[in-house]
Structure 1
Amino acid sequence: MTDRQTRPGPGVMALCTAVGLSLALTGCGGGSDDARPQTLPSKASSAASASTSADPDAAEKAAVLASYSSMWAEQMKAYRKASAEGTELERYVTADALGQFRNDLDRMRTAGTVVRGDLVHDDTTVTAVDMDAQTPTATVQDCLDISKWQTYSTKKNEVLPMPSAQPLRYVATATAQKWEDGWIITAFTPDGAQQC
């Protein structure tokens, strides 16, 4: 067990709820063997690069976005097979968040669901950085687009429909802290009422 896994985190990250699909299925689910990482759009990294000289926190913001992107890539790998085995998710989330994530995967396995399709991130930005805090913190705002996301039932061999009231694009906010080995996501809050 690593230091990161044993340290308490300041918030619990509702990973399954993060993509707003807990209404559509028991757990998070869809299921292709395609473990292709889902990365943030290039405009997020381009914006961080372009502002490096003007923003003294530009390098930290870029590092926050890199951790956030890596967290999603590892999360999607796990969702595609309903298992965290072979992923490096614990490198990017706190122990509390990892526990919630494992609970979500257990629900997916019980329901026989996996993820197919893509989760798209749009206009992902670091909206705040506090490097003067005892533990430096940052806030990320993201627009999640789940229009190409599918929940696939491995029991029924079919794609499950999304609830009719499910928004396909909505805002989510993440909190990150800078630990000894880099930025780690400590909380994730989706806001299905705030469409983007």
Structure 2
Amino acid sequence: MVTARQKHGAAAIGGAVALAFALAGCGGNGKDDKASSAPPAAVTTSASPMASADPKAAEKRAVLTAFDAMWAERTKAYAQADAKGTQLEKYATLDALGKIRIDLARMREAGTVVRGGSKQTGAAVTVLDLTAKTPKASVSTCIDLSSRETYDTRKKAVVPLPTNQPRRYVATAGLEKWPGGWIVTTYTPEGARTC
């Protein structure tokens, strides 16, 4: 026989169980308790362009801009066989500038200039060391001679390129970051490496 006291205890237990189920269901998603006790799934968002960008991208652009500026001034100098009126000294140090000046002296002696100019394409920063006392970079590019002509100003004639001269070859440049910005310290045409 069930007494009133037993009925009251059973009701209290039943209420506690109901309350436990109600609390377990709060905020639930209708799935079992194991799923609700699992850690939340990781939220995936697409990374912002700034977060995934190369942290050295701005310096690489600055390196390539300096190299392009040196190349443009070099092209001007070769077109007149003289560095006068160019800003080569702004973009190239003594070593790189010295090699260009030797070329220009030879051109003046031979009475030649370069028309059309050599094009450089696909320039890329291959090394960038910003931790050095003087930051350093290396650039590799492809030199294209297809539109270049060496012109003899005395004979008024185009001088053909040597038959063994590749029309496209690799060149490399070394740059350093000075107080005024990046400057070309070395320039090395690698005629044996075609591109």
Give TM-score, length-normalised by structure 1.
0.71
Deviations 1:40-85 (A, max 9, x none): xxxxxxxxxx999611111110011011000011011111111111
Q: Please give the alpha-carbon distance, in whole angstroms, between the structure 1 residues aligned to 2:50 and 2:67.
A: 19
The question of 1:125 aligning with 2:124 is answered yes
- 3-state SS, counterpart of residue 125 of structure 1: strand
Does residue 147 (structure 1) correspond to residue 146 (structure 2)? The answer is: yes
The 1-side partners of 2:152 and 2:50 are apart by 44
Equivalent position SS for 2:132 = coil
Task: Indicate conservation of the 8 Å contact 2:79/2:117, yes or no.
Answer: no
In the comparison of the two structures, how many residue pairs are matched? 147
Q: Kindly indicate whether the alpha-carbon contact (under 8 Å) linking 1:79 and 1:115 is maintained by their aligned counterparts in 2.
A: yes
> CA offsets, 1:114-152, max 9 Å, x none?
010132222111111100011100110101111111000
Q: CA offsets per residue over residues 157-180 of structure 1, 9 Å max, x none? A: 000011000000111111100000
> Per the alignment, in what secondary structure is the counterpart of residue 113 of structure 2?
strand
Contact 1:71 1:93 in 2 (8 A): yes
**Structure 2 unaligned residues grouped into runs of 5+:** 1-48
What is the aligned partner in structure 2 of residue 74 from structure 1? 73
TM-score (normalised: structure 2) = 0.72
Gaps of at least 5 residues in structure 1 are 1-49
State which structure, 1 or 2, has the greater radius of gyration over its C-alpha atoms: 2
Matched, 1:170 2:175: no
Match of 2:4 in 1: none
Q: CA 1:52–1:176 in 2, change beyond 3 Å: closer, same or farther?
A: farther
Distance 1:118 1:90, change over 3 A: same
Which is richer in helix?
A: 2
Query: Whose relative contact order is higher, 1 or 2, with alpha carbons under 8 Å and at least 6 apart?
Result: 1
Separation in 2, partners of 1:52, 1:118: 40
**Cα shift at 1:103:** 2.2
CA distance in structure 2 between the partners assigned to 1:81 and 1:122 by the alignment: 23
> How far apart, CA to CA, are the structure 1 residues paired with 2:147 and 2:76?
16
Question: 2: CA distance between counterparts of 1:68 and 1:128?
Answer: 14
Instruction: Say what the alpha-carbon RMSD is for the aligned residues.
Output: 1.7
